Structure 1
Amino acid sequence: MATSAPLAHAASSDDPITLSASQLRTMRDDMQRFLLEYRFGMQEIETKIAILRDEFLLTHDYNPIEHVTSRLKSTDSLLDKVQRKGVEPDFASIRRHITDIAGVRLTCSFTTDVYRLFDLLTEQDDVRVLEVKDYIAEPKANGYKSLHAILEVPVFLSTGRIAVPVEVQFRTIAMDFWASLEHKIYYKFDTRVPPELLASLKDAADTAAELDERMLRLHRAIRGPAPRGNGRVVEL
């Protein structure tokens, strides 16, 4: 997509800007078209997840996905991140350097579901893995756990095929509950969280990890392994 001069000026200058009505409309329309590509990419990922969920329900009588949420950055949020990261304020640079414009989060019951769904999603031949950060295998210092992946999917527009990156996060219910609480605490204290609360958060993360393991053992005791369609065994 061609760079919009009004976007570049508006995002990089603190000087007062006088734009005509037609320039404002062009700037707005350019940004809407840019974000629309990411909305379509997000919908492609959501469709793939829905297919996997329905196939699992039919084949295994089991749903590995508790719920799915998605979000698309607003124009203000995107421009704020462009400035914070020092990215050149044109669409080509934003496309290269900011990969979380569209995001999808899968919440699963168990850690095994997280990795199974990641494998099934990324094994599809039209999905390209750009980046993976496994904070389950190697949690952050504060106890945060999640599997993050930047996945590129094709989107077919009237002008042709484009590749769109989408950030996909995989978590268990316990991980998601902990992350939600951490976010609220950091927001409450404007990121300056008292040390005693940080220590309690880390303890809670350890407890959540232990709960994940205990619930998985119970789940396996109830269901056991089940055959997969290609002859392999998948733990349910």
Structure 2
Amino acid sequence: MDELKVKLRGMRKQFQNQNQRPPIEFVTGRVKPVASIKEKMTRRHVSEERLEQDMQDIAGLRIMCQFVEDIYQVVDLLRKRSDMTILEERDYIHNEKPSGYRSYHIVIEYPVQMVTGEKRILAEVQVRTLAMNFWATIEHSLNYKYQGAFPEELSARLQRAAEAAFKLDTEMSEIREEIQEAQHLFSYGKAPTERTDDESKKDDQR
């Protein structure tokens, strides 16, 4: 987990070193607690012998992005890496879960070099916006309180909140595009004006 966090944070640093806006806002990670592993083994009927193969999220990474389009840029970057293998992808952004949950999930296989030799582990990478993460954090907390059995009214409110969060993401992306377009037009229109001013000065000098 520590290795993967360093590598993913390094991707952000590379963009910054090149004076580019990084698609990664920040990276977090966790190893699932033993109690949670045992509970999931029972719930999903996972045998101890198949634990490492069948439970994909013992190691979990979360990559936070500012915009929805950043998510897909990060996914493309991960696909190009040679130090990990992508085994599975699940797009819950444009194919959200019934609860309203949105995120992009990637299951990777990562080789860890140990003193006893190489060990290939599975890890789940979740890539989402800050708005998606805010909703998911609240929903996760409520899930513990209600043990997954939300009252109907609360489920409906969570779905509406998830839709509102996604509309916010969409609106911010559109605003960003308008700003970029305005900056491009401003830069395009500014250069000829400056040349004209220079020419005017030369004429005055003459």
| Code of the aligned partner of 1:79 | K
User: In the alignment, which residue of structure 2 is the partner of 1:86?
Assistant: 45
TM-score by length of 1: 0.72
Cross-structure match for 1:166: 123
Whether contact under 8 Å (1:44, 1:153) holds in the other structure is no
Are 2:25 and 1:66 equivalent residues in the alignment?
Answer: yes
Alignment partner of 1:77 is 2:11: no
Partner of residue 196, structure 2? none
1:139 aligned residue (96, 105, 116): 96
1:100: Cα distance to partner? 0.7
Structure 2 match to 1:210: 167
Secondary structure of the residue aligned to 1:62 is: coil
Percent of aligned pairs sharing the same letter: 39
Separation (CA, whole Å) in 1 of partners of 2:44 and 2:20: 46
Residue 83 of structure 2, aligned match among 116, 126, 145: 126
Residues 49 and 121 of structure 1 are in contact (CA less than 8 Å); yes or no, is this contact kept in structure 2?
Answer: no
* 1:107 has 2:60 as partner: no
1:159 counterpart letter in structure 2 = T
CA distance in 2, matches of 1:188, 1:94: 27
Deviations 1:156-183, CA, capped at 9 Å, x for gaps: 1122222111110001011111111212
Alpha-carbon distance in structure 1 between the residues aligned to 2:147 and 2:39: 17
Alignment partner, residue 199 of structure 2: none
Deviation string 1:47-101 (CA, Å, 9 cap, x unpaired) is 22111100111224323222221110122222222222222223xx111111111
Map 1:216-235 to 2 at 5 A. 216-223=173-180
> Do the aligned partners of 2:105 and 2:124 also contact (CA within 8 Å) in 1?
yes
Paired amino acid for 2:48: P
Partner Cα separation in structure 2 for residue 121 and residue 208 of structure 1: 26
* Cα deviations by residue, 1:24-46 (Å, 9 ceiling, x for unpaired): xxxxxxxxxxxxxxxxxx22321
Q: Specify every segment of 5 or more residues in structure 2 that has no aligned partner in the other structure, as ranges.
A: 182-206
Structure (1 or 2) with the larger CA radius of gyration? 2
Q: Which amino acid aligns with 2:3?
A: E
Deviation at 1:137, TM superposition (A): 2.0
Question: Root-mean-square deviation (CA), in Å?
Answer: 1.6
Are 1:188 and 2:164 an aligned pair?
Answer: no
- Confirm or deny that 1:43 pairs with 2:2: yes
TM-score, normalisation: structure 2: 0.82
Match of 2:12 in 1: 53
Distance 2:55 2:21 in 1: 36
